[in-house]
Amino acid sequence: MLTMDDAVHIKQLRVEGLSVRAIVRHTGYARNTVRKVLRDEHAFQSHRLTRPSTVDPFKTYLQERYGQYQLSAVRLLTEIQPLGYTGSIGTLRWYLQTLKTPRQQHQQPTVRYETLPGKQG
């Protein structure tokens, strides 16, 4: 994949007086690629387009409910499916993970509590 920095480097080599073949040997790109860059015909890959998520219409509701009660994805899924949510539980879990604080993300789900033999009884 050709980046913008590579294209600038190719153009700089041309300004320095190198031929297309010399630039090809120096950079390792194909002749046609170098020619396209020098003619400004090369299309650079843009960033990925963001598509709307199935969670987007329910984000405010999920933020409120998760903020108040720290409900699980399974519980929230049963609440938003009657409202029209058609996505998967994995998508919902991914979104709920973004709502957690860094401390919550690294916290153990349970704390082990041990007693001496005979104490618990």
Q: What is the pLDDT of residues 14-50, one digit of tens each?
A: 999 999 999 999 999 999 999 999 998 877 666 667 8
Q: Is residue 51 part of a domain?
A: no
Tell whether 61 and 96 lie within a shared domain: yes
Tell whether 100 and 71 lie within a shared domain: yes
Tell whether 62 and 93 lie within a shared domain: yes
Tell whether 34 and 60 lie within a shared domain: no
Q: pTM for the full model?
A: 0.52
Q: What is the pLDDT of residues 4-16, one digit of tens each?
A: 888 999 999 999 9
pLDDT at 78: 95
User: Cα separation of 10 and 12, whole Å?
Assistant: 5
Tokens of 84: 């029209």
Provide the angle, in degrees to the nearest 10, between the axes of the packed helices 59-69 and 73-80.
140
DSSP 95-107: HHHHHS-HHHHHS
Tokens of 121: 């009884």
Structural domain range at position 96 = 56-104
Tell whether 63 and 100 lie within a shared domain: yes
AA letter at 21: R
Tell whether 28 and 68 lie within a shared domain: no
Tell whether 69 and 99 lie within a shared domain: yes
Tell whether 34 and 67 lie within a shared domain: no
What is the domain count for the chain?
2
